[in-house]
Amino acid sequence: MPKKRREETSSTREPPLPNPEEGTTLCVIERLLGADYILARCADGMTRKVRIPGSMRRRVWMREGDLILVAPWDFKPERGDVIYRYSKDEVRRLVEKGVIPEELLELIEAEEAE
């Protein structure tokens, strides 16, 4: 039986950008809480308890200091779901475009220094 081929790689696809109309925001992982939950500092100034959905649980590994895209819940805005985790290369491209706010850049650099 032939092996399955991978579809597109992440480098050829453009990563999703935060869209206030859809309610998505950029966040930096502060702490991994366990049981598929993360404590994340968001660009809007809130610290949210964020859930990793089942489609990402064993496919996407997350560490403290990673930049993620979060969709806050409508009925409980202090909680949310992870939509996407940005790679280091994608973060660099977003910085060049000016999409990432300064306070998130400082958090990312602080986590990398530790």
**Would you call 90 helix, strand, or coil by DSSP?**
helix
Q: How far apart (Å, rounded) are the C-alpha atoms in residues 66 and 100?
A: 13
In this prediction, residues 72-83 reach a mean pLDDT of: 90
How much is the pLDDT for 8? 56
How much is the pLDDT for 63? 85
- Asked if 50 and 38 touch (Cβ cutoff 8 Å), the reply is yes
Q: What percent of the chain has pLDDT over 70?
A: 90
How much is the pLDDT for 12? 63
- Asked if 41 and 28 touch (Cβ cutoff 8 Å), the reply is yes
In this prediction, residues 103-113 reach a mean pLDDT of: 74
Between these two residues, 28 and 10, which has the higher pLDDT value? 28
Confidence class of residue 69 from pLDDT cuts 50, 70 and 90? very high
What is the overall mean pLDDT for the chain?
A: 83
The pTM for the full model equals 0.78
- Asked if 40 and 28 touch (Cβ cutoff 8 Å), the reply is yes
Confidence class of residue 79 from pLDDT cuts 50, 70 and 90? very high
- Asked if 15 and 86 touch (Cβ cutoff 8 Å), the reply is yes
How much is the pLDDT for 35? 86
**Does the pLDDT at position 103 exceed 80?**
no
